[in-house]
């Protein structure tokens, strides 16, 4: 009996020590002086998906740190908007834009955009790459219901584009002997056992985590830090689709709050959860049994699927005409 009790005490002590170590590691990064990204890595950063949400906030945070930015996106008006916003907020920061619809990567148009990106980064001291762009669609569907073209677009953006953009940027880092790559993954592939009805999304994000870990091992001796950041929900359009996001609003940071934490964590390990609220969620996800999480998530996503199907089946409302003009 005493041996059994002693074993429980030892196991409990080890578990508590592990939690304490994780907490201490987080506090150490949060409280230490922020890393000088320009000095450690280089004067330019490449950022995909910078026109909204986390991408917009990360762009602004990097600009505040004095990094010049290559902004890669598919909407010229939105790229111009973020570029002008950065210029007003940080007049000394330079920006360049590359028009690139990552979902067209394997097409002739996508190949031309990739050549433009390669040409742009070859001329610059690019020390940081942030692969932020991602696609959630198709959402809340069974695999046999998913639109094939939407699935192909998701694979191109979440998986293929991330790989090829990294391959385009990292040679310059190797030549200079310094650099950092940050890939935006997801807690859906790392912290929870499954993400039913979002199977392909979770699977592509699992690739991001494994890809980042392997590159971290390959390139750290060459002075390059490769990291996957795995957040839970961040306030915004994408998170608003999930019932569980509304359930955990107190633990859902804003994009700006996430970006501040995310930039602080650059260079600290191959896999991280930068925001402390997300670390709390990760802790509780590790405690809850898999079958319980699977059941709750399946229930929530089936409810969401029904809601989306109802919305999609609603007839379009014809405009009411007054004097030959449609009423707004």
Q: What is the pLDDT of residue 13?
A: 74
Q: Does the structure show a pLDDT above 90 at 133? A: yes
Which DSSP string corresponds to 220-236? GGGTEEEEEE-----TT
CA distances from 16 to 2, 11, 22, 23, 49 (A): 21, 9, 10, 10, 39
pLDDT average, residue stretch 48-73 = 96
CA distances from 277 to 149, 232, 304 (A): 35, 9, 25
Catalytic residues: 201
CA distances from 280 to 175, 251, 273, 276, 285 (A): 40, 8, 10, 6, 9
Q: Does the structure show a pLDDT above 50 at 214? A: yes
Q: Identify the residue with better confidence: 30 or 264.
A: 264
* Predicted confidence (pLDDT) per residue in 247-267, tens digit: 777 888 999 999 999 999 999
Q: Identify the residue with better confidence: 3 or 152.
A: 152
Find the range with the poorest average confidence among 90-94, 106-110, 158-162.
Answer: 106-110
Q: What is the pLDDT of residue 243?
A: 66
pLDDT average, residue stretch 226-249 = 79
User: What is the rounded CA–CA span in Å between residue 201 and residue 292?
Assistant: 21
Q: What is the pLDDT of residue 313?
A: 61
User: What is the rounded CA–CA span in Å between residue 228 and residue 184?
Assistant: 6
Closest by alpha carbon to 139, among 149, 131, 151, 152?
151
Q: Identify the structural domains of the chain with CATH numbers, from first to last.
A: 36-309 (3.40.50.720)
pLDDT average, residue stretch 79-100 = 96
Question: What average pLDDT is seen over the chain?
Answer: 87
* Predicted confidence (pLDDT) per residue in 40-49, tens digit: 999 999 999 9
Q: What is the pLDDT of residue 5?
A: 66
Q: Phi first, then psi: give them for residue 162, nearest 5 degrees.
A: -60, -40
DSSP 316: P
Q: What is the pLDDT of residue 309?
A: 84
Q: What is the pLDDT of residue 298?
A: 94
Q: What is the pLDDT of residue 322?
A: 35
* Predicted confidence (pLDDT) per residue in 315-326, tens digit: 544 443 333 333
Determine the 3-state secondary structure of 267 from DSSP: coil
Q: What is the pLDDT of residue 311?
A: 74
């Amino acid at each position: 009996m005493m041996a059994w009790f002693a074993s429980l005490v030892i196991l409990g002590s080890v578990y508590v020590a592990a939690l304490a170590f994780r907490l201490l590691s987080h506090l150490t990064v949060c409280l230490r002086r922020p890393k000088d990204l320009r000095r450690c890595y280089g004067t330019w950063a490449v950022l995909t998906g910078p026109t909204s949400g986390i991408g917009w906030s990360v762009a602004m945070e990097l600009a505040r740190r004095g990094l010049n930015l290559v902004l890669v996106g598919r909407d010229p008006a939105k790229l111009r908007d973020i570029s002008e916003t950065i210029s007003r907020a940080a007049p000394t920061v330079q920006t360049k834009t590359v028009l690139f619809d990552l979902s067209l990567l394997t097409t002739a148009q996508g190949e031309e955009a990739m050549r433009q990106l390669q040409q742009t980064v070859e001329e610059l001291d690019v020390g940081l790459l942030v692969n932020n762009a991602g696609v959630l669609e198709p959402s809340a569907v069974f695999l046999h219901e998913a639109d094939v073209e939407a699935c192909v677009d998701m694979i191109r953006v979440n998986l293929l584009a991330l790989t090829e953009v990294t391959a385009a940027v990292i040679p310059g880092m190797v030549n200079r002997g310094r650099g950092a790559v940050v890939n935006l993954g997801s807690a859906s592939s790392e912290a929870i056992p499954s993400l039913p009805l979002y199977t392909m999304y979770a699977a592509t994000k699992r690739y991001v985590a494994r890809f980042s870990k392997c590159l971290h091992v390959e390139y750290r001796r060459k002075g390059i830090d490769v990291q996957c950041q795995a957040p839970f929900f961040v306030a915004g359009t994408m998170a608003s689709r999930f019932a569980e996001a509304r359930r955990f609003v107190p633990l859902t940071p804003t994009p700006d709050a996430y970006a501040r934490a995310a930039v602080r964590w650059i260079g600290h390990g191959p896999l991280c959860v930068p925001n402390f609220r997300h670390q709390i969620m990760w802790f509780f996800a590790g405690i809850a049994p898999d079958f319980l999480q699977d059941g709750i998530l399946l229930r929530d996503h089936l409810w969401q699927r029904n809601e989306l199907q109802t919305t999609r089946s609603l007839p379009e409302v014809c405009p009411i005409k007054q004097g030959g003009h449609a009423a707004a």
